[in-house]
A = this chain, B = another copy of it.
Amino acid sequence: MDPYPKPLRDLISQLKRLPGVGEKTATRLALFILGDRDNLAGDLSRSLETVSDSIRLCPICFNLTDMPKCSICQDPSRDPSIICVVEEPSDVLALESAHALKGLYHVLHGLISPINGIGPEDIKLPELIERLSKNSVSEVIVATNPSVEGEGTFHYITRLIEERKLPVRISRIASGIPMGGELKYMDQVTLASALRYRRSVKEK
């Protein structure tokens, strides 16, 4: 016999759908939520409802937004001729926190991954090409992760743009030793990449 009432058991099942949450963590979270005197259950429930009702994808860059256009696409101070291509909305957050991009974004919502059956049509790649064809974009910065899928998607984007002879400069974010990192702890691929793409220091 299950000593937990059904609604609690249901909540545990729902929490188990979250990444990295198993039976034990879900039970701990559910009991914590129930034991919270500041109505965490109610607040969280309302918050989830609002999110699922109001959050949509921006029709231009496919970032998350609760407005007709996302806040970045709406911003007149951004340069629309530069488009930075990323895998996920969280990558936009990471790049925005660096305050280093004055252009706009394009969120692919995935990467091409033949092994997982994800082709170019399954992510927002056709939308990227359409966007590049229609608008006067001068540079596409491909900022997918330096992984097998990220590199593969980068090469695929390059090929698509070159095939269509779009007048767009393509660039790839730099790969190398992260700031504060130590050479002795880096893997060989990163070291090889850091050496290969070394910057030449020009003297005036």
Contacts and interface: CB of A to CB of B under 8 A. Distances in A.
Contact of A6 (B4, B27, B30, B66): B66
Interface stretch (A39-47, A116-124, A169-177, A188-196): A39-47
Contact of A18 (B6, B33, B42, B63): B33
Nearest 3 CB-CB pairs, A to B?
A41-B52, A45-B48, A5-B66
A132 B154 CA distance: 72
Complex copy number for this chain: 2
A171 B70 CA distance: 64
A64 B34 contact: yes
A55 to B, nearest CB: 6
Contact of A5 (B5, B27, B71, B90): B71
B66 A51 contact: no
Interface string A71-100: 110010000000000001110110010000
A168 to B, nearest CB: 24
A54 interface: yes
B18 A54 contact: no
A19 B32 contact: yes
Contacts of A31: 64, 88-90
A49 B42 contact: yes
Contact of A51 (B7, B67, B90, B96): B7
Nearest to A109: B35
